[in-house]
Amino acid sequence: MLERISDKFSDIFRQLSGKATISEKNIQDAVEEIKVALLEADVNLRVVRRFVNRTIEEAKGEAVLKAVNPGQQFVKIVNDKIVQLLGDEHQDLELKGPDALSSILMMGLQGSGKTTTSAKLGLRLKKEGRRVLLVAADLVRPAAVDQLKVLGKQVDLEVFSLEKEKDPVKLVGEAKKYAIKSSFNTMIVDTSGRLHLDEEMMKQIVDIKRVLDPQEQLFVADSMTGQEAVTIAKSFDEQVGISGVVLTKFDSDTRGGAALSLKSVTGKPIKYVGVGEKPEDLDPFYPERIASRILG
């Protein structure tokens, strides 16, 4: 994960770090190579352009050219810009206090990891002391309800489902009543994803959102899909609204493009990353840590 881009960056920095002085031309060349590395990592073109312009602007300042160790100074600027791209600070979920019911709407395309992530997040919040109800509202993918039930057992969380109900909007309404009656304070609602974006799917999620009135609307994105994940996130944000992103399959061989573009393009923070298939494999997203992984 992220190895390729990290290797490229190490090469670029190695060339600069040996030099006692660096010129504007050296900076220009290094930035050009960084640009290529970012594009190869499938980072959004507009994001790359903005990144490159800002880096050049800052790196051409006196502070770098006249620094005792200009190479190091340059690396610091690149690091800061990458952290900025990734969203600066870690952003937590914004849920209500323990005495009120909070709900989290999970959305995304089929196969992005919504069902798995619902259980992972449930486990995490349970460990934080919340009383979590998982809601099986993905009524499109045939095995999704059973999958959530199996995962629910694994993480020891109750799963709300209604065998005969075909309408996810009604199901969510019932789940909410049940959650209040049974003193849960957190509902995680797994919704259906389609293979592609379609109007019917969006309309349904908007209806679910209206009934649920969620505190968090998390878009689950498969990091392996790179740029496509960014485009889809944007469209979910425009049509339904998202409060944050969970980037799944970050343990796989991702080029890093989605992680590096999502915040800039959507303006919405990445809140968690999925780093494996097991229920424990969900980490809070820390821009600083990812930046240092990229910069080696």
Binding residue numbers for GTP: 108-115, 190-194, 248-251
Residue 257 or 274 having the CB closest to ligand GDP: 274
Our CA dihedral for 24, 27, 28, 34, rounded to 10 degrees, sits at -170
Q: Is 113 in the site for ligand GDP (CB under 6 A)?
A: yes
**Closest listed residue to residue 193, CA positions, set 261, 118, 124, 263:** 118
- Binding map of ligand GDP across residues 151-190, x = CB under 6 A, - = no contact: ----------------------------------------
Distance of CA 94 to the CA centre of its chain: 15
Other CB atoms within 10 Å distance of the CB of residue 210: 10
Q: Given the complex with ligand GDP, which of 179 and 218 has the nearer CB atom?
A: 218
Q: Can residue 193 be called a binding residue for ligand GDP (CB under 6 A)?
A: yes
- In which element (H, E) is residue 246 found? strand 244-248
Q: Locate tokens 């910069």: which residue? A: 295
Which residues are annotated binding-site positions? Answer: 108-115, 190-194, 248-251
Q: Are the C-beta atoms of 150 and 118 separated by less than 8 Å?
A: no
Note whether 276 binds ligand GDP by CB under 6 A: yes
Choose, by CB under 6 A, the member of 152, 168, 244, 274 that binds ligand GDP: 274
Among the listed residues 261, 285, 254, the one whose alpha carbon sits nearest the alpha carbon of residue 6: 254
When asked if residue 249 is in the footprint of ligand GDP (CB under 6 A), the reply is yes
137, 162 contact by CB (below 8 A): no
Interacting residues with ligand GDP between 31 and 90 (CB under 6 A): none
For residue 84, the SS3 value is: helix
Tell me which residue has its CB nearest to ligand GDP: 274
- 81 or 209: CB nearest ligand GDP: 209
CB atoms within 10 A of CB 26: 18
Question: Of 15, 110, 239, 292, which one interacts with ligand GDP (CB under 6 A)?
Answer: 110
Spell 162-191 as b/e; 16+ CB within 10 A means b. beebeebbebbeebbebbeeeebbbbbbbb
- 216 within 8 A of 94, measured Cβ to Cβ: yes
111 binds ligand GDP (CB under 6 A): yes
Under the criterion CB under 6 A, does residue 251 sit at the interface with ligand GDP?
yes
Interface region with ligand GDP, contact rule CB under 6 A, candidates 59-67, 156-164, 231-239, 268-276: 268-276
Residues that bind ligand GDP (CB under 6 A): 108, 110-116, 141, 144, 193, 248-249, 251-252, 274-277, 281
